[in-house]
Amino acid sequence: MNPRFLAALLLTPLSAAIAAPGDAARAAKTEAWTPVPPVVSAPEGGIPSDAIVLFDGRNADAWEPVSPGSKGWKVADGVLTVVPHSGYLRTKASFGDIQLHVEFREPAIVKGNGQGRGNSGVFFMGLYELQILDSYRNPTYVNGQAASIYKEYAPLVNASRPPGEWQAYDAVFVAPRFGKDGVLISPARATVFHNGVLVLYDVKLTGPTLWIGVPHYAPHAARLPLELQEHGDAVSFRRIWVRELKGLGD
């Protein structure tokens, strides 16, 4: 017998190697044919066909200032840039569970240090912050560096690129669930990749982000706007999109 055939036979489960009468019928009992997953095209380096594009370089029409009367941020050369002291931006649409892709760039000219260097953030539901910071050779408290859930979870690694280079977050956010009585059923959760590197895996948030104090939950709507933080630094953004996800926390 051919040695390679013998080795393959020995590694094959007996149930698969020798089919008995009626095996096909028994196997069919564990086959699921519905519901059929929808077809989504996802070109390499492109945007999934079911994504909601929030910024594509042309305009910021999907966004509005959080602060009444603010002129918002600057759009030029395909880039959305923070205007210092203009306030946060938020999406006009509201979201719950999402997959998020956002590309950002820290100012090429380095100013400040620690939390005062390239500071911004993405707030899921306007409440839960994924920190944006220039953390390239810039020490600060680890649960406040780039790719942290601010003041809750430090990233597993520091995947930051030098200032002036484009970076990306790819995240899955699962919104918290509250009962009819306002009692928390399940907390918010997040998984994050920074520049393609896993930095947070299914972390459970203890409440909305706070600068001072310990987070705690209070009931809120199932869908709320996404927000981008203005923290006084001219951080830039491009290619922002989300995919709405269903049933992750149910």
Where is pLDDT greater, at 149 or 13?
149
DSSP 159-224: -PPPTTSEEEEEEEEE--EE-TTS-EEE--EEEEEETTEEEEEEEEP-SS--SSS--------S-B
Residue 249 lies inside a defined structural domain of this protein? no
Calculate ∠ Cα 128-130-135, nearest 5°. Answer: 150
Q: What is the 3-state secondary structure (H, E, C) of 216-232?
A: CCCCCCCCECCEECCCC
pLDDT at 16 over 80: no
In Å, what is the CA distance from 165 to each residue of 21, 134, 162, 168?
Answer: 62, 11, 6, 10
* CA gap 162, 198 in Å, rounded: 19
- At residue 14 the predicted structure's pLDDT band, cuts being 50, 70 and 90, is very low
pLDDT by residue (tens digit) across 198-223?
A: 999 999 999 999 999 999 999 999 99
- Cis previous bond, 35, omega within 30: yes
The domain tally of the chain equals 1
CB-based contact 83:230 (threshold 8 Å) = yes
CB-based contact 189:202 (threshold 8 Å) = yes
Residue 33 lies inside a defined structural domain of this protein? no
In sequence order, the β-bridge partners of residue 81 are: 74, 236
Host H or E run for residue 130:
strand 128-132
Domain that holds residue 154: 52-244
**Token pair 């820290």: residue:** 106
pLDDT value at residue 17: 53
In sequence order, the β-bridge partners of residue 204 are: 189
Residue 230 lies inside a defined structural domain of this protein? yes
pLDDT value at residue 15: 47
In single-letter form, the type of residue at position 57 comes to G
Residue 36 lies inside a defined structural domain of this protein? no
Residue 138 lies inside a defined structural domain of this protein? yes
Within 8 A by CB and 6+ apart from 105, the residues are 79, 164, 165, 166, 167, 235, 236, 237, 238
pLDDT by residue (tens digit) across 34-62?
A: 999 999 999 998 999 999 999 999 999 99
Residue 226 lies inside a defined structural domain of this protein? yes
Residue 140 lies inside a defined structural domain of this protein? yes
CATH classification at residue 107: 2.60.120.560
Where is pLDDT greater, at 20 or 7?
20
Residue 45 lies inside a defined structural domain of this protein? no
